Structure 1
Amino acid sequence: MPPIRWKVVSSVEQEADVADDAADEQPIKQRKNGLYTGVSDELAENMKSGWADTEQHGLEPIAQAGELAERRERLSARFPGERLVVPAGNLKTRSNDTEYPFRSSVEYAYLTGDLTEDGVLVLEPTGARGHTATLYLLPRSDRENGEFWLDGQGELWVGRRHSLTESEQLYGLPCADVRTVTDVLRRASGPVRTVRGYDAGVEAALADKVTAERDEELRGFLSEMRLVKDAFEVGELQKAVDSTVRGFEDVVRVLDKAQATSERYIEGTFFLRARVEGNDVGYGSICAAGPHATTLHWMRNDGPVRPGELLLLDAGVETHTLYTADVTRTLPIDGRFTDLQRTIYDAVYEAQEAGIAAVKPGAKYLDFHHAAQRVLAARLVEWGLVEGPVERVLELGLQRRWTLHGTGHMLGMDVHDCAVARRETYADGTLEPGMCLTVEPGLYFQANDETVPEEYRGIGVRIEDDILVTEDGNRNLSAALPRSSSAVESWMAELRS
């Protein structure tokens, strides 16, 4: 476990004495004069010197610097004459003095490429048109006041930050000390918009200058900007998918070990691949064995893994630039589908085939959903689980008892990307080349569903792939993972041989 960290405390706490300065486990507290109780003058002076210069020179810009500049230009054109403020967000406490791993706000990362906490992008209007962008960041931790070794977020505790000069080279933007940004924003005049929900300090500084309606318009536009991916983004999504494919292969190879433990073994196996090749998993992995597969977001992953049942694995690797895959396969745990499992699986596969075929430029976004639902409704009627005809079932939505969810969503830096885009540009919109979405129909027969024959109960099947809209149709980014029931069985046999 990590050691207890020192911390710089508030001015109120600075007035208080420490009950026992000699206890090394206790956080050191700062006095008004900048010295620290429990630290001798000699030690404080000693820690200021004797350190080699680690400044990095001649850094290359990050790979997507050109695309980032184009995005900021589009944003500038949309809101001429207005100051735009986009924060990264702050660390969140997990417990006591430990924090959750930081993940930058998508809006900030999309415009800057920076993924560190506390950053703020400010676009200052240069007149009726155009903006000057400044990236406000935390500089290197201070050696003069002892921050680098005494503060819980100092360099010797959590690692070195880039200097502002280094950051300017990486991101291609002027950089300034973020500790000055609230004063800058308080003095700001004219129309201002910000992305809310990430930085309370920024919002407080702008409280008398912004409105919820205008801020939501900014956030919505940034969401709509991400609907169509540029070449860099497509490459990152493919990278995420390729790692995800390898993660699924890892899982198949250890299913015997999972049977001796639990769904947690599957979760941990996939997570290892995500951390080795990417930043993290893009969302909580769904490792749902047996009847857990009928729970759409089963993420407890604490159940048994038994031969003869199915494993619904819904997981995705997130790249170091925060683009995530989102793939699902439903696998027979012992490598072979039973007859009924195969029948249900094949129906879902047929529905997915119909959905994927409907993804093409010029199609309505919801066409793929309707195509998949029609197939599933037809199979439910055929099996005698619902009274037809199919048109009646679809009109009344009766198939939803067993299909439950929509057939897909946009994919990108968020697993459910572009979520606050206007309905007319997303759900009621038209597909364009560069859009990336999931196609993921499913059938779920709950273990306690007395409207279906007993042998159906507890079976859940979902098949999900990441589909890129191209100029002449679509490309399945996750095509390397087998989908048909026979291909899945052959693939599993080969990996386990």
Structure 2
Amino acid sequence: MFSKDIYINRRNKLKKLVKSGLILVLGNEDAPMNYTDNTYHFRQDSTFLYFFGIDLQGLAGVIDLDNNREILFGDDFSIDDIIWMGPQPSLREQASKVGISDTRPAKELFSFIKDALKQKRKIHFTPPYRFRNIMKLADLLNIHHNEVKNHASLELTKACIELRSIKEPCEIEEMERHMSVAREMHTTAMKMASPGIQEQKIAGVLEGISMSGGGIISFPVICSVRGETLHNHYHGNILKEGDLLLVDAGSESPKHYATDHTRTTPVSGKFTDLQRQVYQIVLDANDKVREATRPEVPYRDIHLLACKVIAAGLKDMGLMKGDIEEAVAAGAHALFMPHGIGHMIGLDVHDMEDYNDTLVGYDEEIKRSTQFGLSALRMGRRLKPGFTITNEPGIYFIPALIDKWKADKKFTQFINYDKVEAMKGFGGIRLEDDILVTESGARILGQRIPITVEEVEQIAGSGV
């Protein structure tokens, strides 16, 4: 955890943003894989980590706004626990590390909330995403579990987004420190990308590197020669000459801050002329995005800039045609890039999206589009110094989407379907960096993972 003052200051800021009532922050519990004592790796709730910092199961934090009290509910480990786990600090000792002196047994949370409800006090909580906490909230609030999310506090949710959006120096330091693990993951994948190797072997090595760096993977590894499937978690293919290996993988730091990068590597060690053309378009879009990223610029505008770079490059290749501005405005480019340019990243790889991705990425000024492709942009609002975001343009040739649009005669004024047909089987290319918005622009977090054609070809298939 960070220093005590960090958590005290965060809770004090939260108190100024939420007017009255109780703020209830539930920590996570262990989740069984196949029987009670065989659990998935424990991952603490990110909101609890942000405000209370303790990375243990079975805790709940309460901020009593009306009486200026902060309480941590939980239980000390029993002798049976200690036999299996070894000596453990007491709840009071843990609480003191984050500036809380009032600790109470877990069972008292129910009577505490019951009394607050009798007094008709507002209970603020963010939208729960784990079923066990949904059921706990249903019991605490005496409502049906299907109604729990409807009672989540918009006031608290917006306050949490406001605070967590701008990363503190300690958070940026933690993220930058862990970028070396991300770099090792991706350079290792590049080195392993050679004919005859199975995707699963590479994916397994990457997960091991993440664990060796003190954390876990921040999301299931995407490692596939079928990169046109945006979130492809199948790892059964054997790499062969001419393939492109797309690896989208990230690691969590010991304090649970995420990395998220994508690189695309030629399995043959060298890009073909066609692969190099498409790759350079994506790289140009990546570079243009970073150069254009600065405070007060809407990330939606930067997304559209990337789309124009991609559309112009595809027009030069003969795959698109017509006026580029009109093509992008109409959404024709989304045949080739049907996702957004990026999302926030921090304690979650898609930071704070358990709250609601539209609340995180949009506001009263900039509303989410309903247009195919643009609607998938998760981050559209104006940028501010301290935002940490991903920059991930891509070009994909998705046979099913090509067939559908062609059959529907969609955007025939902008798309040369005869030439696009020949690209089926090409796969996909995505290039993703994690960037920090600074006072005057933006910079890549950590040392940039090799990305130019020359850098990638120098490493590709060289072995580990």
User: Do both share a fold (TM > 0.5)?
Assistant: yes
Tell me how many residue pairs correspond in the alignment: 418
For structure 2, the 5+ residue unaligned runs are: 367-378, 404-416
For structure 1, the 5+ residue unaligned runs are: 1-61, 149-153
Match of 1:136 among 46, 50, 73: 73
Bigger Cα displacement from structure 2, 449-458 vs 186-195: 449-458
Match of 2:217 among 260, 281, 284: 281
1:416 aligns with 2:350: yes
Match of 1:178 in 2: 106
1:231 aligns with 2:201: no
Q: 2:153 aligns to what SS in structure 1?
A: helix
Task: Specify whether residues 266 and 101 from structure 1 end up closer, same or farther in structure 2 by C-alpha distance, changes over 3 A only.
Answer: same
1-side partners of 2:435 and 2:179: how far apart?
Answer: 11
Match of 1:82 in 2: 21
2-side partners of 1:340 and 1:159: how far apart?
Answer: 58
Q: Is the 8 A contact 2:2 2:53 kept in 1?
A: no
Match of 1:395 among 306, 319, 329: 329
Match of 1:195 among 109, 114, 126: 126
Match of 2:140 in 1: 205
Bigger radius of gyration among the two:
1
The Cα of 1:230 is off from its aligned counterpart by: 0.4
Q: TM-score, normalised by structure 2?
A: 0.84
Match of 1:109 in 2: 49
Deviations 1:238-266 (A, max 9, x none): 1232210011222233334xx44411111
Q: 2:20 aligns to what SS in structure 1?
A: coil
Deviations 1:26-73 (A, max 9, x none): xxxxxxxxxxxxxxxxxxxxxxxxxxxxxxxxxxxx434322211111
1:45-444 → structure 2 map (5 Å cutoff): 62-97=1-36, 98-127=38-67, 131-141=68-78, 143=79, 148=80, 154-158=81-85, 160-174=87-101, 175-188=103-116, 189=119, 190-197=121-128, 198=130, 199=133, 200-207=135-142, 212-213=150-151, 215-256=153-194, 259-289=195-225, 292-419=226-353, 420=356, 421=359, 423-424=362-363, 427-444=379-396
Q: Is the 8 A contact 1:64 1:113 kept in 2?
A: no
2-side partners of 1:358 and 1:159: how far apart?
Answer: 52
Q: Is the 8 A contact 2:8 2:98 kept in 1?
A: no
Q: 1:104 aligns to what SS in structure 2?
A: coil
Q: 2:248 aligns to what SS in structure 1?
A: strand
1-side partners of 2:433 and 2:457: how far apart?
Answer: 18
Q: 2:448 aligns to what SS in structure 1?
A: coil
Q: Is the 8 A contact 1:436 1:469 kept in 2?
A: yes
The Cα of 1:349 is off from its aligned counterpart by: 0.6
Letter in 2 for 1:223: I
RMSD between aligned residues: 2.3
Bigger RCO (CA 8 Å, 6+ sep): 2
Match of 2:442 among 474, 479, 487: 474
Letter in 2 for 1:207: N
1-side partners of 2:149 and 2:285: how far apart?
Answer: 45
The Cα of 1:233 is off from its aligned counterpart by: 0.9
Bigger Cα displacement from structure 2, 465-474 vs 158-167: 158-167
Task: Specify whether residues 478 and 344 from structure 1 end up closer, same or farther in structure 2 by C-alpha distance, changes over 3 A only.
Answer: farther
Letter in 1 for 2:136: G
Q: 1:233 aligns to what SS in structure 2?
A: helix
Letter in 2 for 1:102: F
Bigger Cα displacement from structure 2, 190-199 vs 338-347: 190-199
Q: 1:328 aligns to what SS in structure 2?
A: strand
1-side partners of 2:432 and 2:217: how far apart?
Answer: 16
Q: Is the 8 A contact 1:329 1:463 kept in 2?
A: yes
